[in-house]
Amino acid sequence: MECPVILEADVLSAFPAEVRIPAQLVADAVTASSAESPRILVVLDDDPTGTQSVANLPVLTRWDVQDFEWAFTHIAESQSKPAVYVLTNTRSLDPAEAADRNEEVVRNALAAAGDSVRLGFVSRSDSTLRGHYPLEPDVIAATVADVTGEATDGVVIVPAFPDAGRVTIGGVHYMRGTGESAGSLIPVAETEFAKDASFGFANSVMAEYVQEKSQGRFTADSVIVLDLNVIRAAGPDGDPAVSAKAIADAIEGATNSTPIVADIVTENDFRALALGLEEAERRGKKLLYRVGPPFVRGRIGQEIRDALTGEEAYEGNNPSTAGGLIVVGSHVGLTTRQLNVLTAEHSSANIIEIDVERLLTDSAAGDSGADAYIDTVVAAVVDALKGGDVIVHTSRLLIKTDDAAESLRIARTVSAAVVAVVNRTLKTFPPRFVIAKGGITSSDVAAHGLEIRHGIVRGPMLPGIVSLWEPVDGPAKGIPYIVFAGNVGGDESLSQVTRKLSATF
């Protein structure tokens, strides 16, 4: 039986209109709270696509104490907004590894901050609810308590990503329909993302999702839900301070990491929430955040950055005469459609496939077999780059298993091969630009394929989505690197980004 169509307009009709809030109002509140001692948000990003909603912020793929010292110094000297992204890539790790990595990042950040900088911590994860929850905020809270003695009162959960069609209304997380289904809402548990082999889930009601994922440690009725009646308490022409007070009042009772879920539909909702959280923290509440990509932009009062042009992408650098390298690892349906459009429209590009079945077979037989296969791929890529753009993609047959650990092992094997292809290509014949499609793919390509240690997030290549990083050190310095999530954009998006950067498209 077909599910009834849920229309966004009908769902929203039960709630007030959004409160109009300029980003500067939030920025001023953040500045005021840092008047006596600077406060910086450390964003533990479980894959690099969380940077797609921000601009001009430092990003790290390593997290030694000196890496944080570089980032904190950059923020102070450049007077950028007070946030730094740390690429933990924990969505590709098993729970024990993810826990260890979160703890290490937090301890090193606190060590670098010392007594001169106050830190807030953000656990950035997927807008379709996949990831190590509640493990990651649990570990962050426990580590902060161990190092500083400071207990966490509440964990604010904000998965919404309106630019990519993910909104939370009435405590329910939805994906917006597209094409003929535009204007409709699909509960996220009814989408392909909920069937993820490693991070699947059954509930779209956020309080029930929390209960499910915490295995009953937090019951649904213990979750504080900031619905749009609270977020928009001031009304469209009212005083935003009214909404801020309503939000702070609603979470007054949070203690011992109480989950707090927030409705979000628009950028104004993010800003209203940010003012409310500022007020709650001014009153003494200690909060952590578990969020989707745009939360940080709203929380620090950053304006929405227009999409970068091709000229802006290369600003300050001389683009190579080589072709660009487009690497596609994600297997979600949207990525495959985007790949199909790109290959159809970019007729001059060379297309090279990494045969996953052969790769796994060769890997099982020993490293030498896999290395020999990768060498043949690299040779083909380098030769093709001399004549134009190259699209390297993993074979589209998804090798599935019901075992979550085995699924991660397969993903790691494939990602390692992609990384090796990029790294050996970079050191043989550097490309004009690099685009990496897929969360784990783009993380591993950044940290290991391109050996980026420190970078600056320049801004989005498409409105609100798809981030451009400028590597500031390592062999990829000066080569624009595009982080492109597997599950965002329309069918034409990959083609649109490539066209901006390419000399031959």
User: CATH number, domain at 35?
Assistant: 3.40.50.10840
Which among 256, 277, 300 is the end of a domain?
A: 300
Rounded Cα gap, residues 61 and 88, in angstroms: 7
133: nearest Cα among 214, 234, 57, 218 = 214
Q: Tell whether the model's pLDDT for residue 91 goes beyond 80.
A: yes
The candidate with the shortest Cα–Cα distance to 452, out of 477, 430, 428, 433, is 477
Specify the amino acid at residue 306. D
Q: What is the pLDDT of residue 159?
A: 98
Give the count of domains, the chain: 2
Does 342 map to a domain? yes
Whether the per-residue pLDDT at 395 is higher than 60: the answer is yes
Q: Does some domain include residue 493? A: yes
Query: pTM for this one?
Result: 0.90
What three-state secondary structure class fits 211?
helix
Query: Can you spell out the DSSP letters for 246-277?
Result: HHHHHTTT--SSEEEEE-B-SHHHHHHHHHHH
Give 410's strand partners: none
pLDDT at residue 492 is higher than 90: yes
The pLDDT assigned to 401 comes to 67
- Give the single-character DSSP code of 161: B
Residues 293 and 338 in one domain: no
Residue 100 lies in a domain: yes
Residue 319 DSSP class: -
Q: How many residues does the chain have?
A: 505
Q: Would you give the DSSP letter of residue 478? A: T
Same domain, 281 and 320: no
Quick check: is 237 in a domain?
A: yes
Residue 1 within any structural domain of the chain:
no
Which of 300, 329, 354 delimits the end of a domain? 300
Residues of the domain holding 151 = 6-300
Instruction: Let me know: does 165 contact 223? Beta carbons within 8 Å.
Output: no
Return the pLDDT at 333.
Answer: 83
Instruction: Tell me: do 349 and 409 sit in the same domain.
Output: yes
Residue at 362 is within a domain: yes
DSSP for 348-382, written as a single string: TSEEEEE-HHHHHHHHHH-HHHHHHHHHHHHHHHH
Residues 103 and 126 in one domain: yes
Give the Cα separation of 299 and 27 in Å (integer).
Answer: 8
305 domain residue, yes or no: no
Q: Are residues 197 and 255 in the same domain?
A: yes
Q: Are both 290 and 323 inside the same structural domain? A: no
**DSSP run (H or E) holding 346:** none
CA distance 390 to 502: 11
The pair phi, psi for residue 169, each rounded to 5°, is -135, 130
pLDDT tens string 99-145: 999 999 999 999 999 999 999 999 999 999 999 999 999 999 999 99
* DSSP percent split of the chain into helix, strand, coil, nearest 5: 45, 20, 35
Mean pLDDT (whole number) for 327-331:
83
pLDDT band for 439, please (50, 70, 90 cuts): confident
CATH classification of the domain holding 346: 3.40.980.20
More confident site: 485 or 206:
206
Termini Cα distance of the chain: 45
Instruction: Give alpha helix (H) positions in 285-332.
Output: 295-300, 310-313
The pLDDT value recorded for residue 398 is 60
DSSP run (H or E) holding 454: strand 454-462
Judgement on whether residues 294 and 316 belong to the same structural domain of the protein? no
Mode of pairing for the β-strands spanning 118-124 and 287-291 = parallel
Q: Distance (Å, rounded) from C-alpha 23 to C-alpha 153?
A: 27
Q: For residue 360, is it within any domain?
A: yes
Whether 213 and 329 map to the same domain: the answer is no
Same domain flag for 360 and 429: yes
**CA 124, CA 157: separation in Å to the nearest integer?**
10
Average pLDDT over residues 387-408: 77
Using the 3D structure, point to which of 300, 321, 353 is the last residue of a domain.
Answer: 300
3-state secondary structure of 285: coil
The amino acid sitting at 257 is S
Same structural domain, 129 and 201:
yes
Range from 60-69, 216-225, 346-355, 485-494 carrying the lowest mean pLDDT? 485-494
pLDDT of residue 1: 47
pLDDT at 400 exceeding the cut of 90: no
Strands across the sheet containing 166-169 = 6-7, 184-187, 172-176, 166-169
Of the candidate ranges 203-217, 281-295, 320-334, 374-388, the one whose mean pLDDT is the lowest: 320-334
* Shared-domain flag, residues 253 and 398: no
Say yes or no: 388 and 406 in one domain.
yes
